[in-house]
């Protein structure tokens, strides 16, 4: 992968690029659930575990405290992944 980034980031960066291109080159008004689901699905198991652990202990965003990834809104899921 270019710039010396770890190859485990390749799929998630490609997914983010697709989301970005969807906004830049079409008239998409908002982030869609499918976008976030696709992004989450390409995370490696270590990243998924880290994400879910950080959600469990998050006290900065009280609206997600104690929730699982799937219990959050699409917007909250995207913010926590990125």
Give tens-digit pLDDT for 45-77.
888 888 888 877 766 776 777 777 888 889 888
Q: State the average pLDDT over residues 1-26.
A: 86
Q: Which residues contact 62 (CB under 8 A, 6 or more apart)?
A: none
Query: pTM of the predicted model, to two decimals?
Result: 0.78
Give tens-digit pLDDT for 15-40.
999 999 988 898 888 899 999 999 99
């Amino acid at each position: 992968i270019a710039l010396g980034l770890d190859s485990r980031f390749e799929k998630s960066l490609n997914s983010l690029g697709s989301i970005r291109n969807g906004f830049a080159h079409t008239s998409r008004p908002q982030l869609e659930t499918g976008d976030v689901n696709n992004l989450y699905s390409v995370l490696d198991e270590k990243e998924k575990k880290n994400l879910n652990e950080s959600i469990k202990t998050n006290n900065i965003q009280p609206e997600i405290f104690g929730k699982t990834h799937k219990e959050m809104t699409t917007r909250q899921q995207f913010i926590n992944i990125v």
